[in-house]
Amino acid sequence: MNKKATQAILEVGTRREAPAGTTLIEEGVFDETLFYLESGSVEILRGGEVVDTISAGDVFGEVAFVERRARTATVRTAEDCAYVAAERPDLLRSLADDAETLFDFVQAIESRRSAHMHSGSDQEVDAFLAQVADEATSHRAVHHPYLLALRDRSLPDMKWALADFARQYLGYSSHFPRYLTSVIGRLEVPEHRAALMENLTEESGIYESEEMEELAEIGVEQEWIDGIPHPVLFRRFCIAAGVEQDSLTEDAVEVVCWREMFLSILSGGSTAEALGALGLGTENVVSTMYQHFLPALEVLEAPPSETVFFPLHAAVDDHHQETLMDISRHYAATAEGRRDLLKGMRKALSLRAGFWDWLHTRALTQGKCDEGATLMF
């Protein structure tokens, strides 16, 4: 905090004292007071747990001050404290005639807001992300009976089931670049957009040399994938599975429902919810989920170049997962962000589980009971 910004708070605010254990800010309550701590220290709590400590000479309460929303954390004195409390209207009014100082003040407050959101709570954020990532990879959508039946090659007609999967899943997977661009357009931080653009580049079939070397180690040859968009790779799999090209022109209603509902999460909810759906609920589970398909592909007796979509994604999507997880950390610093990340993840997984329910029923009956098979959203 620079001297001008600090001086503005001291001139406008009211000096107060509070004994240890006093709650100065309560999570969920709406107020816009900005605090400057003159002596002592305070604890920052989210969900009742201490996530950070602020010492004398620092500012707190800046998130609600800047964003004009309910408090994202509780602040409690850890010892006897002296502080200055400045009301938002009074502070802005005092700076209204000094544009330079006002600009410096806003910049300083925004800097402190960002610092408080992303420092001191790393342990909490990491614990949250690890917990929800584990929840996702343990979800029914990732280890669905349909996927396990494919893995064990126990469906009545495996070739029919694989062809049906290929035909139906194409209507979802071929739109993945669209899913990525929907989220990229919503990210506020340029570095986050740039990082996710790299994922989009890979979807177009462009890889770094290091990635090519890693793929070569698992038997993926460069000529199979270099410069070939992922939707084209999946169409190769469709052909290998025996899907008639004429049948690829129109998607089933169930596929359209899944795709459009997923897109509505990415574009209609908060940015954190969109990240939860695409990152934690999709990219985070793909490498695990696609492992179930690898044994099933042997039934097709197709060249590995024709089914490379699956081993490719089982490997490359680990990098995508890391990128989205890093971006998610930015939003997981607040209770609201964590809630929305979790909500988006669970929505995406529930949609996928409903899709697997439908495909499983089709695979068991070879598509003869579609009238009674509906998506369980």
What is the pLDDT, as a whole number, of residue 120? 39
Residue 279: CB partners within 8 Å, gap ≥ 6?
321, 324, 325, 327, 328, 345
Q: What are the tens digits of pLDDT across the range 291-308?
A: 999 999 999 999 999 999
How far apart CA 39 and CA 205 sit, in angstroms, is 57
Backbone φ and ψ of 39, nearest 5°: -150, 155
Would you place residue 318 in the very low, low, confident or very high pLDDT band (cuts 50, 70, 90)?
Answer: low
Would you place residue 86 in the very low, low, confident or very high pLDDT band (cuts 50, 70, 90)?
Answer: very high
Q: Which residue has the higher pLDDT, 356 or 188?
A: 356
What is the pLDDT, as a whole number, of residue 162? 96
Residue with token string 């040399």: 209
Which residue in 79, 73, 67 sits closest to 38, CA to CA? 79
Mean pLDDT check: name the lowest of 214-223, 244-253, 259-268, 320-329. 244-253
Residue with token string 């709650």: 23
Radius of gyration of the chain (CA): 26
Q: What mean pLDDT is predicted for residues 194-200? A: 87
**pLDDT of 114 above 60:** no
Q: What mean pLDDT is predicted for residues 318-342? A: 85
Contact indicator for 182, 267 with CB cutoff of 8 Å: yes
**pLDDT of 319 above 70:** no
What is the pLDDT, as a whole number, of residue 252? 92
How far apart CA 50 and CA 43 sit, in angstroms, is 6
How far apart CA 65 and CA 43 sit, in angstroms, is 18
Per DSSP, what are the bridge partners of residue 23? Answer: 76
Which residue in 107, 136, 161 sits closest to 363, CA to CA? 161
How far apart CA 50 and CA 62 sit, in angstroms, is 18
Q: Which residue has the higher pLDDT, 43 or 111?
A: 43
What is the pLDDT, as a whole number, of residue 370? 59
**pLDDT of 87 above 80:** yes
Would you place residue 51 in the very low, low, confident or very high pLDDT band (cuts 50, 70, 90)?
Answer: confident
**Please, what is the average pLDDT of the chain?**
86
Contact indicator for 65, 25 with CB cutoff of 8 Å: no
**pLDDT of 148 above 80:** yes
Segments in 24-74 forming alpha helices (H) = 62-67
The pTM (predicted TM-score) of the whole model is: 0.67
Q: Which residue has the higher pLDDT, 131 or 377?
A: 131
Tokens of 1: 């905090």
What is the pLDDT, as a whole number, of residue 305? 93
**pLDDT of 80 above 90:** yes
Q: What are the tens digits of pLDDT across the range 336-374?
A: 889 999 999 999 999 999 999 999 999 999 877 655 545
How far apart CA 186 and CA 180 sit, in angstroms, is 10
Would you place residue 112 in the very low, low, confident or very high pLDDT band (cuts 50, 70, 90)?
Answer: low
Name the burial class of residue 87, with classes exposed (0-12), middle (13-18) and buried (19+) by CB atoms within 10 angstroms of its CB: middle
**pLDDT of 119 above 50:** no
Classified as helix, coil or strand, 60 is strand
Q: Which residue has the higher pLDDT, 202 or 120?
A: 202
What is the pLDDT, as a whole number, of residue 234? 92
Residue type, 91: L
> What domains can you pick out in the chain, each with its CATH number?
3-118 (2.60.120.10), 122-372 (1.20.910.10)
Q: What mean pLDDT is predicted for residues 312-320? A: 70
How far apart CA 261 and CA 82 sit, in angstroms, is 52
Per DSSP, what are the bridge partners of residue 42? Answer: 54, 77
How far apart CA 31 and CA 65 sit, in angstroms, is 8
Name the burial class of residue 30, with classes exposed (0-12), middle (13-18) and buried (19+) by CB atoms within 10 angstroms of its CB: exposed
**pLDDT of 97 above 60:** yes
Q: What mean pLDDT is predicted for residues 58-79? A: 84
Pairing status of strand 23-25 against strand 59-60: unpaired
DSSP state string for 79-148: S-EEEEEE-HHHHHHHTTT-HHHHHHHHHHHHHHHHHHHHSS-HHHHHHHHHHHHHHHHTSTTTS-HHHH
Q: What are the tens digits of pLDDT across the range 10-27?
A: 989 999 999 999 999 998
Contact indicator for 352, 280 with CB cutoff of 8 Å: no
Q: How many residues does the chain have?
A: 377
